[in-house]
Structures are given as structure tokens and as C-alpha cells.
Amino acid sequence: MAADSEPESEVFEITDFTTASEWERFISKVEEVLNDWKLIGNSVGKPLEKGIFTSGTWEEKSDEISFADFKFSVTHHYLVQESTDKEAKDEVLEDVIPQPMQDLLCMNNDFPPRAHCLVRWYGLREFVVIAPAANNDAVLSESKCNLLLSSVSIALGNTGCQVPLFVQIHHKWRRMYVGECQGPGVRTDFEMVHLRKVPNQYTHLSGLLDIFKSKIGCPLTPLPPVNIAIRFTYVLQDWQQYFWPQQPPDIDALVGGEVGGLEFGKLPFGACEDPISELHLATTWPHLTEGIIVDNDVYSDLDPMQAPHWSVRVRKADNPQCLLGDFVTEFFKICRRKESTDEILGRSTFEEEGREIADITHALSKLTEPAPVPIHKLSVSNMVHTAKKKIRKHRGVEESPLNNDVLNTILLFLFPDAASEKPLDGTSSTDNSNPPLESEEYNLYNQFKSAPSDSLTYKLALCLCMINFYHGGLKGVAHLWQEFVLEMRFRWENNFLIPGLASGPPDLRCCLLHQKLQMLNCCIERKKARDEGRKTSPSDNVTNTYSGDAGKSGDQLGPDNLRETDKDKGEVGKSWDSWSDSEEEFFECLSDTEELKGNGQESGKKGGPKEMASLKPEGRLHQHGKLTLLHNGEPLYIPVTQEPAPMTEDLLEEQSEVLAKLGTSAEGAHLRARMQSACLLSDMESFKAANPGCFLEDFVRWYSPRDYIEEEVVDEKGNMVLKGELSARMKIPSNMWVEAWETAKPIPARRQRRLFDDTREAEKVLHYLAVQKPADLARHLLPCVIHAAVLKVKEEESLENISSVKKIIKQIISHSSKVLHFPNPEDKKLEEIIHQITNVEAIIARARSLKAKFGTEKCEQEEEKEDLERFVSCLLEQPEVLVVGAGRGHAGRIIHKLFVNAQRAATMTPAEEELKRMGPPEEKRQNLAADFPPPAGRELILRTAVPRPAPYSRALPQRMYSVLTKEDFRLAAVFLRRCFHVCWRRNNRMR
């Protein structure tokens, strides 16, 4: 009754135990992941083939779950195999143990060289790992470990999953795992021990056998035989008897023309240190039983020379210093510098010269007299004198970044014509060793947008790269560039062609700096031809000063693309009446001014063809076949015309921007067409001068034959005659061609305003070169440096013939062509290319190191040499290589000798002691054991099948893996037993 008197509020304090706990939610999430990955039921797979763990493909899936606020990552690791038949999956027997448990006894994949640690320890083809998601998180307490194991056990039992499921415990660097696998009436426990200090009784086989037998707890007597697999690993670190074959550079020999491997124009190659740091020899006894072998703390039968299997792997040096990679990397660092050439070398040359000329006595004269144009500062003599004076004043000759010997050697390498006794006439502006258009090297510089390998730009890039690395660094680069610019101005002012550049207009497929140098060469060619023409041919009809343009015939030009290139390169923004009388124009007058006025311009202003017919023809190249003028029947002559103005890609871009700003209106389109027709007007004027009395129809018949239509018609007398007329587009009102023809005057090419003002363009190029900072220069030349590095790598690879390197080189070329072909590539992408080149250099250096150590060149028999080269190639490409014949094969004997020499050097044993090896067998065995150092790693795998837990139980596989190194000791064991209601028992124990 007392209870009835209590307040009703107590009724609502009932706890709802049906609500899921955090633990139950975690188990549900694990089950959900296993179901999503379809890891339910028995998985039947094919028997494991030998070496499949290394040669096969491993894949993994990942997901993330959480236990309360603690996040875990779930990862499924599995070996990709062909799926078995569906009928085989349906015929799964209830009493068959899961596939992972059957793999425990498989001996085909012991000690895989490259696999997950759980694969090496347990021999599994498929497993799931639950680990803390964050790297700094860890499951440390025993209660949490047991809680996770209980969760795994319940999830496996509820889903029927037969894939092993592991939980990572402790800190991740320890690689500690515990796990479980369940099957029909079978339970597998995966256990692990990790110690820093190894008990003495467990350092040999007999002690490990005692542990294994005690853990099995087999009720049978005698115990079934235990199968044993043993691997000892020996490490060779001492290469004193084999010097690294890389020759050190001889810097002092530079002046003599040779720098060891650093001759100007050639990049160095090779590693500065041995790229192979260690050789690991693994001696394996794959199939042993405990009654055959003896290994305890007193005696051991495990002689490495008697091991049936030998395998070798090499440990590569971490980031070895490579010459080619360092060269390119240091040059790339210049791209990030901000200093200008003047800031690096001192005050500006022109600024200092201006201050020296200034005088207080001229102060008043400046107020009354106009300031003179400082053109004298641009003369080569003045600039060279000022530059040398500045260097002497601020640094002294001996303190210059580059000494005279080095500088002269470089300049002679860049400008070989300066060393010849003949004057610098520049008759051959480029070498004859240019690769053909179809060659791979030609396509390479085209893809990289660099420069041909025999060009001046390419050589300049290599010289700057070497100067930056060996001679003065950034200051040396700035000094050489200053001298280079002075040389360019000297050649321009003295009409000396620049060597190492192909003739013709700038090649837009090359880098911009190469285009600028080609433009300067074009200016020198025009200026030289003009100056020679003044000296040799003062007459009016000069035909060899300008090359004839016979390509204006109808065989090469169509009506829709008439001299489009010329139109794109014409002068910009002038009216028709101002094409020939600009204040800034430069007339090339080869006759008196009165003759010019009387014969050309004044007569042209009279306008009529009849008046023009009486003019004296000028500027004729040659007669055009059988064509005659339509109105007077005179032969039609092809005139001497001006060459179109060459342009670099930056000028084309500027012109495109100007034309684009005109808009799309009719007026803008008309103005754009007139701006692009400077070359057309020039050709019309030349044609009028060469053919007095001509008409527009005559010009079109030569310039654009398809725009002159001829038809056969019947005349008044009934005869068939040809009648011609202009095409429809030529008859459009306000046609550009008609307007230009009416404006054109009969002026030969040599008296016209130059379409290409070589003086102005040359000064623009020289100014562009002078204001380049070292960083800008490095950006321009970096494609050439990468191009040279790739060619060097290809050259060195051809000597070694490494298949993997060939694939990497193709990848580098493909990647570089995508990155370098566009302006201003990202630094990150450039660093990736340089890193790839350095990796290839390291691989080739490793190949040479191994060949030197194994003495491939010393083999007398060709068959043995081929076997050794194949063995070395496999060492570079594979994680581990089997030694044919073990210690008795040719490679095995060389490896044995390497270890013997290393042991002799370590113990300082003289060579005479080797005679003791011919003693009795027992002493010989001890000496052979001394040929090798103590094993750096001892690995053992123990296997057997015993009934557990009762004698009448079915025999189940048991396995234990052991590894002993200098730093730690690890046991990874798998024990199977018959068990019913496994998950409920663990669950009850946890409660």
C-alpha cells in the first residue's frame, strides 16, 4: 500500500533498454560495410600460383566508420584473380574450411619481396583491416582492444563473412595487428608478439619450435611433423674494393678547351656518389623438417653456401647527387631571382657614362641649346669602352665574375667565325649539321619550343648553365649576357651576320629569344644588302639588291588567300595617301633626288595611263613568259618587290590585339583590311614602275590569276577570241584593290618606303636584349636546357639499353611538350620535369655501378656476359632477383667474392690466410661461415596440421612466422580450432 501512495511521477523514470548503444551501432556499421563489399559467405578461389603475390595485382577498398566520436578506417585488401565458375560456388560443402585458412599451408609464396606486411606474415590473399583513421590515434588499452575484438567476432558471426578481419592496435609504427576468421565450426585466431629485446632461447630454430608446439597444445603423441621454411638475409655495405666509376671534373682544364666531362656545349652526366648503397643477399631453405636440420645456440647446419635458393636485391641511395640534375636545377633557380643585370653588376652603363660626360661648365648652354640625342652611346666602340671601364673601376679585372680566359673560350665557342682570319662576312649563318625535318631530334626541339641543337641559342643556354654552376653563379651569368648583348650590337653596326642561326624569317616554333636573334639577323642581312647595293650598283635598275618575288604567279597563289602572310605583316594605321610620305620613312635613294621627283612621284600624280606610258621602266626582274599588257601589247615584266616584314610571335600578338580593337563594324573591317595591305600597295607601285601604261587587269593577271576570268567568245567577224574580265569580287564598289591601285604611284621597290624598317627593328631587338633580367633570360632558355638534358639522357641510355628508362624518357618528352609549348609554364610542372630527368640519370648511374661491381666487361665468355647483363637489368627493374645456381652459379660466385672481400677488409685478414680453407671439412665449413657477416635478418615459417582441441577433432592448419633483426623481434601466429557458438562465447566473456 505504501507503494501505491508514491507520486505518479516515478512511473516515468523507466529506462528504455531497447535503444541501441554505441557498441551495437558500431557492430551494425561493420556488418553494413561487409555487406556492401559482398564479403558474405564462403569464397572459393583457385590455388595460389608460385610468385603470384609479387607478380599479381593488389587492390583495396576503403570506408570510414566511427565508434562514438572515435573514427576508424576499414580497408579491404585483396589479390585480383579470375573469378571461378558459379557452379563451383554453389557446390560449397558445409564442412570445408574457409579459403584463407587453406592458404596457411601453401608454400608457393613464402617471403614475397613486395607485399603488405600481413601478406608476408600470414600468407593471405584477402583480408580486411580496421585501424584508427588519424595517424596520431591509437588503440592502447587492453579493454579497448578486447572491445574491438568482440565487435569483430559478432560482426563475422552475424554476417557469415569468412574473410579474415584484423584490428590494428598500439602505435602505427609498431604494425601490431590482432584478428579473427570464422568458418563452419572453425575459428582462427591471429596473434602477434613484438619485442625490442629478444630472449636468447628464441634466437634459433630449436627455441622457436618449442614455442610453436606449446601454443598448439596438440593432444597426440608423437606430434605430426613440422614443415620449416628459413630465410637468412646478409647485407653488404662495404664497396671499398670497387671504386665508383664516375670521373671527377677537371675544372682547371677549361682554358685548354677540355673540362673533363664538362666541355662547353656538352652537359655533364652521372652521379657524384655511388647510387647503390647496399646489396641484400637472401639465402632460403624452402622445404625443411625438424629432423633434418639442426640449429641451436651451439651449432647450426644453416650454411649460406649450401642454401638451395639465393635471391638478391639492392638498396638504392636516397636522392644521390647527380650532375645533370644539379645543373638543370641550379639553372631553374635563376628563374626565381628578381635582380636586374645592372643591380648584379653595378650601376647602369648609360647612367654612369651620362654622369661622366656631364660638366658644370655646360649648365648654361643647356638652357639655350637643344639637348643632343644620345645616339653616340649606342655605338659599339663607346659601349665596349664604357663596359670595360665600368668593370675595371668597380671590380677590377681580377675581380670580374668571369676571368678573361674563361670569357674568351666561351665567346669563341659561341662565335667561331671570330677566330677565323677571314673577315666576319657571315656568309654561312648556320652549321650544315642541322637535323633533317623528319628526324626525331628536329621534332623534339619543335615540341619543346626550344631551338635547334646546333643553334646559337642552344649553345648560349648550355654556356649559361655551366657558368651558373661552375664560374661565378648569377654574377657570371649576368656578365656573360652583358658581353653577348655587346657582341650583338657590334655585329649589327658592322654588318656581320650572327652564326648559328638559320636564314629566313623568325621560326615561330622556337623560343622567343631565338626568334629575336633571327629577327636581328634579318635586319643585318637587309642592312648589309642595302649597303653593298649602294657601293656596287648606283644605277636605277638594280635587280640583285632585292630578291625577285616570282611566287606571285597564279601557280602558287589563290584568289582567297592572296599574300595573306604579307597582309598580316604590313604597317598599321596609315591612310592611303600617307603610305609613301611619312615623316619617319627611310627612302633608299640610289639616284639623285631630282630624278626621283621627275621620274616617279610627280609623274605619278598626273595619274593617267597615257602619261604613265611615257615613263622609263624601272625595277624589272625578268619578263613573265608570254603575257603582254592588255592595252599596248608590251611584254609584262615581273617587278623587283620588297620582301614581307618578318615578325616574332610577340609582335604578331601585339598586331592581333590592335586589329581586334577595331571592332566588327563595316568601317572597322575596312580599316583593318587597309592596315593589312601595305605589302599589296608596295607591289602595285613596283608593278606600275616596271610596266608603264599598265592597268589593274594586268596586275591581277600576274598577282592573282584566278581573279581574271577568260572566256571564248565570238567577235563581230565570227571568230573565236578570248575575252577577259575581272572576277565579281574585284568589281565590288569601293573595292580595296581598286582603291589601292588608284592610290599607287609608279615607284620602284628601291625607292619605296621600306615595309621592313631594319634599323628600327634592330634597335628594338637590341633594347629587348639589353633589358632582360637574368630571371627572364633563364625563362627563355629553360626549354633549351631541358631539351639538351633530354638529348643527353637519350645518348647515355643508348649505351646501357635499359627498357624501363626508354619508357620514362618517352613520358618525359610527352609531358615536356605539353608544358613547354605554352608561355609561362607553372614552376611546379617544370620541377616535375626536372625531377623526372634526375630520376632517369640516377637509374642509368645505378646500372653502371652494378655493371662495375659485377664486372660485366671482364667476362671472357659471351654467354656469361649476357647472363650477367640480364641479371643486372633485372636488379634495376625488379624488387628481388633469383640467382641462378645459387652460390654455385656465375653470379653467385661473384656475390660470394664480394662478401669475402668485405669481410677481409673488416677483419684485416691477409690474403695468405685463404690457404687455410684447404683444411679438413669441419675447418673448411667454419671458414665458409666466416665469409659472410652475421645475418641481418632471420625469418622462419613453421607449419603443421593437428587436431584441436580434442584428439578426435579434424586436423586443422597451424602456422607461425618469426623475424629477428638487430632492432626487434616479431612473432605472428595463426591457430585454428573447432569451436561452436564462437561469437556468443566471446560476447558473454566480455560481459
Q: What is the pLDDT of residue 789?
A: 93
Stronger pLDDT, 440 or 474, i.e. the higher one? 474
CA–CA dist 864, 889 (Å, integer): 10
Contact 225, 289 (CB under 8 A): yes
Residue 85 pLDDT more than 60?
no
Beta-strand relationship, 969-978 and 620-628: unpaired
Output the 3-class SS for 746-797: CCCHHHCECCCCHHHHHHHHHHHHHCCCHHHHHHHHHHHHHHHHHHHHHHHH
Residue 77: which residues within 8 A CB-CB, separation 6 or more? Answer: 58, 59, 60, 116, 118, 119, 126, 127, 128, 129
Contacts of 395 (CB under 8 A, 6+ apart): 346, 401
Ranges 228-242, 293-307, 908-922, most confident: 293-307
Task: Using the predicted structure, report yes or no on whether residue 698 has a pLDDT greater than 60.
Answer: yes
- Assign residue 845 a region: left if phi > 0, alpha if psi is -120 to 50, beta otherwise? alpha
Looking at residue 985, its pLDDT comes to: 39
Beta bridge partners of 321: none
User: Quick check: bond before 949 cis, omega within 30?
Assistant: yes
Q: Residue 428's pLDDT is what?
A: 42
312 confidence band (pLDDT: 50, 70, 90): very high
Q: Which residue has the cell 671570330?
A: 418
Q: How far apart are CA 433 and CA 243, in angstroms?
A: 38
Residue 921: pLDDT over 70: no
Q: How confident is the model at residue 174 (pLDDT cuts 50, 70, 90)?
A: very high
Q: In this predicted model, which residue has the larger pLDDT, 503 or 169?
A: 169
DSSP, res 226: P
Average pLDDT, the chain: 77
Lowest mean pLDDT among 180-184, 188-192, 317-321, 532-536: 532-536
Q: At what angle do helices 678-690 and 736-743 cross, to 10 degrees?
A: 50
CA angle 233, 238, 244 (to 5 degrees): 125
Q: Which residues contact 808 (CB under 8 A, 6 or more apart)?
A: 836, 839, 840, 843
User: Do 276 and 316 form a contact (C-beta atoms < 8 A)?
Assistant: yes
**With bands split at pLDDT 50, 70 and 90, how would you rate the model's confidence at 613?**
low
* Grid cell in block for residue 159: 554476417
DSSP H helices in 510-641: 512-536, 564-568, 593-596, 602-606, 609-613
Q: With a cut of 50, say whether residue 582 has pLDDT above it.
A: no
Question: What gap in Å lies between CA 967 and CA 571, rounded to an integer?
Answer: 79
Spacing of C-alpha 887 from chain mean position: 41
**β-bridge mates for residue 300, sequence order:** 295
Closest residue by Cα to residue 550 from 480, 616, 625, 494: 625
DSSP state of 217: -
Q: Specify the higher pLDDT residue, 829 or 445.
A: 829
- The pLDDT tens digits of the residues spanning 20-60 come to 788 999 999 999 999 999 988 776 778 888 888 888 899 99
Looking at this protein, which amino acid is placed at residue 954?
R
Q: Are strands 165-169 and 126-132 parallel, antiparallel or unpaired?
A: parallel
Highest mean pLDDT among 12-16, 791-795, 823-827: 791-795
**For residue 990, what pLDDT band results from cuts at 50, 70 and 90?**
very low
> Which residues have CB under 8 Å from 464's CB, separation 6+?
331, 477, 480, 481, 777, 778, 781
Element (H, E) at 342: helix 341-345
Q: How far is CA 678 from CA 89, 695, 759, in A?
A: 83, 19, 19
The pLDDT of residue 561 is: 38
* Beta bridge partner(s), residue 79: 58
* pTM (predicted TM-score): 0.73
Cβ atoms 824, 837 nearer than 8 A: no
Coil, helix or strand at residue 183: strand
Percent of the chain with pLDDT over 70: 73
Amino acid at 662: L
In the chain, the amino acid numbered 215 is: K
CA distance 299 to 297: 6
Q: What DSSP string describes 576-593?
A: GGGSS--TT--B---S-H
**Cα 478–Cα 483–Cα 486 angle in degrees, nearest 5:** 125
Angle at 551 between CA 656 and CA 694, to 5 degrees: 100
The domain ranges of the chain are 22-82+96-218+948-988, 225-322+798-909+931-942, 339-347+404-416+443-532+758-772, 647-701+728-755
> What backbone torsions phi and psi does residue 980 show, to the nearest 5 degrees?
-120, 145
